[in-house]
Chains A and B, each alone.
Chain A
Amino acid sequence: MKIYISPKNNKGVILIISIIIGVIALAAGLTAANFVSRSTRNITDQESSIKALAISESGIEKVLGVNDVAGFACPLTDGTLSNPGHIPSLGESLQGGGNVVDSGNCFYKEDIDGDSIADQSYYLEITSKGGTDTYLMDSLNKDTVLEVSTQGLGSDELTINWSDESGNGNFASLLITEVFDSGGGNYQAKKYAYNPSSAHLSSDQSANGFNEANNELISITLTTGTKIIRIKPLYFGAFNIVMNLPGGSTFPTVDQGFDIYSTGCTCDNVLDTNSRKNASVRKVKVIKTREHLPAIFDYVLYSGSTTVPLTK
């Protein structure tokens, strides 16, 4: 269809065209504004999320200087302890503004900009790696060492179970060294080497002659005078390591390390649902194990050259 524009009716046509152009321009403008608004909100959300992570991590950092949860007290903003050696009790107000909401766990809020209104808060949950019959380790890299105190335990049957990384089928072998006091401070070592179950062996593992675990579950009878066990994964990292003692026995707490959970929030009270609305919340877990020597100390003699053999 053709449209003929005559001088008589062209004003109306121009008006209609103007309105159409105006509507299009308005729609385009609104779309652009909405896009910019959403992009800005995404960027703001990202910044807020990163900030929440940093708040979580700052809570962790304030605990990491403490070696033993038995001597732990909630940290102050300057990183010192509110009352070193004192175990906070439920509801106790702490010097510096924090308070304890349940035994051993700390809530803390900080006023960053000095307007007397808290800008950020975090909640720390701290549990000893000892004191129960189970010791959990989320992951351990290949050729690194986890050391667990077994001080004070008798001839208990220690079971160790481990897994692969997210079902990727790569199951580590474990080298385990138990150090025990045979009397009068005369330390001796017992060694164990375990492969995963035969269904999970790689070709390298199948040739090493280790014992095979049944479904990645092994059992070790601890020696009287036991002090520590050192666990080292070979070939692959080990994941979800679970150590269990028989009923009635618990891992010692002294020098055992602890788990720290820190929930950080860009709000004045991470524990309050209303306060968390429109704020970012991130949670971090840190396992601080018993302090121990790195894996390089598992050798009495090692030649590190890749070109020169160890000979005599």
Chain B
Amino acid sequence: MKLYLTLLISFIFASLIFAHLALASDTSSPISTLSIDPASPTGANGWYNQSVDLLINASDNDSGVAKISYTLDDHATIDKNIDASINLIDNPSFEEHHNHIPYYWDRPPFSSNIYVSSKNSVDGIYSLRFRYNIWPINYVTNKSYYISAEAFKTYFFSAWIKTNVFGFGTNYEIMAIVNGENQLLYRSPSYFNLNDFTFVNNSFTTPSGTTGLYINLYSLGWGNTYFDSLYLGQITADSSVSFNVSEEAEHVILYNATDQAGNVGDENTDNFKIDITPPSNWQNFDYTKQGNDHTLKVNIDVTDNVSGIDLTSAYFQYYIEGVGWGVYEDLSKCSGNFLLDQWKVPSISYITNPTKALITTPIIDFCNSNWTQDKKIRFKLTDIAGNEAISPEFTINSPWIYATNFDIGSSNSISFTSPAKTDGFVLSKGDIVGVDSISNVYIKNYLSDTIFNTQNLVDQLTFLALPENKLPEINGRYKFIGNMTLDKKSINGYDKKSICSVIFIDGSLTISTDYSLKDSNSCLIFFVSGNLLISSNVNNIEGFFIVDGVFDTSTTNKTLNIKGGVIANEVKLLRSLSGKANLTKPAEYFDYDLNLLFNVSKLLSTSQNSIFWYEL
């Protein structure tokens, strides 16, 4: 019991001393290097246009690598610890012995002058002493207690030696059992005149066929040698760290390594830059007449927020019905040689250097004023990283929408061939193409948690029955089951009173007449479980419409003005104005009535959105 207690205390003490002294002895710093895959930038001007794999390798010839640290840009520093395994040598400090003969170590016959001594030690109480040993068989080995090992693994060996032997000197050997044969892996130089315990160490990799390792300790000559606190451990983890970077930016990476002795290597710096996304945000599509109404200069803005726009890369081509995509050799004429599928260079300049640019075409003759025929234009250019983008096709004099005071959104993507104009935010689960917002806020690839249907609201509210096919005469919430047509009769004088009501149509609604509300205190909210059709003869209506089916504006050539808003599962914007009217007027105009926020809140505010419970 006493022995075990002594051993335990010795072991703990030895570990602490060993760790402390080991730290103090290896004075060389580890080296770290970075490699990037792909090795060379894949884009232009030193940019990668794909994500990259980074590998930091570290090495240390003495105590081995303990930690690799790296910092990418302004992110927090990441440390990867590389731990050595526990000491695999039995009785490494010779604390266990019987009559001064160490356990787990063998000495040859006639070597009684090799024994465990308490005269000197690094840790614990004892060390192994070679005393005036001139007998040629002069070694101690733990071959009989060899350490199981595997091929191609990296190990770290260390020991403390104190010697004043002169003669042949003192050394040690690291031996491997390879395919059943003994193989020398490393023989240390001979040590003389180490008046204090000195730390010696070596890292090595086992060869193919290795099944075991053992250590031979030698000392031959006149004087005394002490071995103590031996260590053999496997470096278990790779002394490398790898990770992928896909964030688009100009990156700076700082990295270094620390060895098991605590030496910190030099901090290295590398730079790389990634831009995967081609230019986008084709906005502010506009054109100005140059003489007749079909001879135009076309403008558009384009943005690349990462590497920026390459001003030398812009091209355009246009579409003439019956001819195709390409350019006339003389752009100002609709005659001569048409270069099918060819592109021409516009003028281009930075709005914001280098991320936003304005493209302006030369004067282009789009041939005629027949606006029933498609006249389209598109652009292409690359960013500085070499990512090429082709714009959507923009149609000259095609219908467009105008939406004011609040936001536009889609649970899919948004794409308008002639840009919609708005002053609100634009939010989409997919891409956003062809919307010009004064707010300049475009929220792409966003999945909203808002529930865009009537059921959620209907479930939280109570409704009175609505008299068949007639709007109510007093404020309230009403429900009508069946299809309803809102015509002059069913308006029922609603437009002549200050009334505010919510009407749930459990069916479809057709609006077949123009109407307006009396004043700013009036409101009309429709929940429609089916479809909402606006008849082609209708041009001016008011109200807010939440539609579970299709909202259809009907094919006609007059603007539909809605003072209010529309939330529908599917929106069909079918109107197109006649002649050149599309140049100046929207085909559908949605003007959010902000009075709704004040008039309707008491009718539609629910506990779900205004009452918040917390348990304390």
Contact = CB atoms under 8 A, between A and B. Distances in A.
The 3 A-B pairs at the shortest CB distance, nearest first, are namely A291-B605, A304-B452, A187-B594
Contact of B400 (A143, A145, A282, A312): A312
A164 B477 CA distance: 38
A287 B611 contact: yes
Given A137-B612, A138-B614, A283-B615, 10 more contacts: A138-B612, A187-B594, A191-B441, A228-B597, A300-B592, A301-B565, A303-B414, A303-B570, A306-B412, A309-B415
A138 B614 CA distance: 9
Contacts of B569: 303-305
Contacts, number: 223
A220 interface: no
A2 B180 CA distance: 57
A299 B409 contact: yes
A302 B606 CA distance: 21
Nearest to A173: B443
Given A179-B594, A188-B405, A301 B612 contact: no
Contacts of A283: 615-616
A312 B587 contact: yes
Interface of B: 74, 247, 305, 399-401, 403-418, 420, 422-425, 428-430, 439-446, 448-453, 457, 520, 544, 546, 565-571, 573, 587-588, 590-592, 594-598, 600-602, 604-616
Given A204-B445, A290-B610, A292-B601, A309 B412 contact: yes
A227 B598 contact: yes
A129 to B, nearest CB: 11
B602 A291 contact: yes
Interface in A142-176: 142-145, 147, 175
Given A203-B247, A300-B590, A303-B570, A291 B610 contact: yes
A311 interface: yes
A199 B608 CA distance: 33
A234 interface: yes
Contacts of B405: 188-189, 300
Given A179-B597, A188-B405, A286 B612 contact: yes
B417 A312 contact: yes
A250 interface: no
A284 B442 CA distance: 40
Given A297-B596, A301-B571, A302-B410, A291 B601 contact: yes
B416 A143 contact: no
A179 to B, nearest CB: 6
Nearest to A228: B597
A144 B606 CA distance: 12
A282 B613 CA distance: 14
Contacts of A293: 596-597, 600-601, 604-605
A305 B74 CA distance: 40
B412 A257 contact: no
Contacts of B422: 300
8 contacts: A208-B442, A210-B441, A257-B610, A299-B567, A301-B409, A302-B409, A303-B568, A304-B568
Contact of B452 (A189, A210, A296): A296
B48 to A, nearest CB: 17
Given A283-B616, A284-B615, A310-B414, A302 B445 contact: no
A207 B441 CA distance: 11
B610 A292 contact: yes
Pick from B428, B443, B446, B520 the residue with the most CB of A within 10 Å.
B443
A139 B449 CA distance: 16
A289 interface: yes
Contacts of A147: 597, 601
Given A189-B405, A189-B594, A208 B457 contact: no
A127 interface: no
